[in-house]
Amino acid sequence: MDKWKRSARLVDMTQLLLSQPYKLIPLTTFAERYLSAKSSISEDLAIIHEVIHNEGNGELETLAGAAGGVRYIPKVNKAYADDILSALCKRLSDPKRILPGGFLYLSDLLGDTTLIQDIGRIFATLFRGQKIDAVMTVETKGIPLAHATASFLRVPVVIARYDYRVTEGSVVTVNTVSLTSKRMRQLSLSKRSLAEGSRVLIIDDFMKAGGTVQGMIHLLNEFQAEVVGVGVMMEAPAVERVVDQYVSLTSVKTMDIKNQRVEVEFGNFQL
């Protein structure tokens, strides 16, 4: 195989690094792949870092030493994130979303793969720099968001389920109370799905009083796991809230079912 030209190397390295966030790639891997000197590889990495960093899309982090290498830490460009979330607030404020019972229809947004990738990138940016072993969510609607976030953090996803399923093996179950509907439900997590002592980021689509998030926290306690943070796409006003530490991307400010008006603004996140 021939030595690669710098232009081809830059394209290939960009592709390899950006498609594998947080994966440490030894410089030797690049040097061998391109039959190039490590000094040339380092120059290439400096160019890639500069472009990504200047665009606000993250950075390349270089770790020295025998176990060293370079990895891509994704971030979201603040102006881009503001645009994405402004557009999301506008879509959420559409009165056609109001469903009987005062729920908002979200399934189209949660099925929009481009939006979900963007939100995953925003959550990964908000919780970066913390040691995270897994992202947890509850079936069903939180799953796409949890997966998108976890893929940018390069960690696995664990899913708590409302009903016991034969396909989960042995499970740990806790009782959870929806403070909105006053209904009791059981929430289970497969014993095999999470190692004891894991550091876990909770991600969900929607939070009102926080009963579901609290249920997930109780489950995590059973696994001696630690909650690193809680991120929700949308929060709704609640008289009483059982979870006080959370990051919301959007927040329902007004919900007037009688006059079919809903107003959604930015949540409490700080980018």
**Nearest distance in Å: CB 111, its own copies:** 4
User: For the purposes of burial, counting CB atoms within 10 Å of the CB of 208, is it exposed (0-12), middle (13-18) or buried (19 or more)?
Assistant: buried
Stretch that binds its own copies, among 6-14, 214-222, 233-241, 262-270 (CB under 8 A): 6-14
- Identify whether the C-beta of residue 188 lies closer than 8 Å to the C-beta of residue 164: yes
42 touches its own copies (CB under 8 A): no
Looking at the Cβ atoms of 89 and 147, the one nearer to its own copies is 147
Looking at the Cβ atoms of 19 and 245, the one nearer to its own copies is 19
**Number of residues near its own copies (by CB under 8 A):** 57
**Nearest distance in Å: CB 145, its own copies:** 10
The interface with its own copies within residues 82-101 (CB under 8 A) comprises 99-101
* Interatomic CA distance for residues 26 and 184, integer angstroms: 51
193 touches its own copies (CB under 8 A): yes
Among 70, 92, 124, 144, binds its own copies (CB under 8 A): 144
Q: How many CA atoms lie within 13 A of 10 on its CB side?
A: 12
Q: What are phi and psi of 191, to 5 degrees?
A: -60, -35
Looking at the Cβ atoms of 103 and 268, the one nearer to its own copies is 103
3-state helix, strand, coil in the chain (%, to 5): 40, 30, 35
Q: What are phi and psi of 224, to 5 degrees?
A: 50, 35
Among 31, 56, 112, 178, binds its own copies (CB under 8 A): 112
Among 15, 28, 86, 221, binds its own copies (CB under 8 A): 15
CA nearest to 27, candidates 70, 56, 58:
70
- List C-alpha distances in Å: 129 to 134, 143, 153: 14, 23, 10
Looking at the Cβ atoms of 140 and 254, the one nearer to its own copies is 140
Coil, strand, or helix at residue 231? strand
Looking at the Cβ atoms of 167 and 245, the one nearer to its own copies is 167
- Identify whether the C-beta of residue 75 lies closer than 8 Å to the C-beta of residue 59: yes
**Nearest distance in Å: CB 63, its own copies:** 20
Stretch that binds its own copies, among 11-19, 85-93, 214-222, 230-238 (CB under 8 A): 11-19
* Interatomic CA distance for residues 107 and 128, integer angstroms: 27
- The footprint of its own copies (CB under 8 A) covers 6-8, 10-12, 14-15, 18-20, 47-48, 50-52, 55, 57, 99-101, 103-108, 111-114, 116-117, 134, 139-141, 143-144, 147-148, 150-151, 154-159, 161, 166-169, 190, 192-193
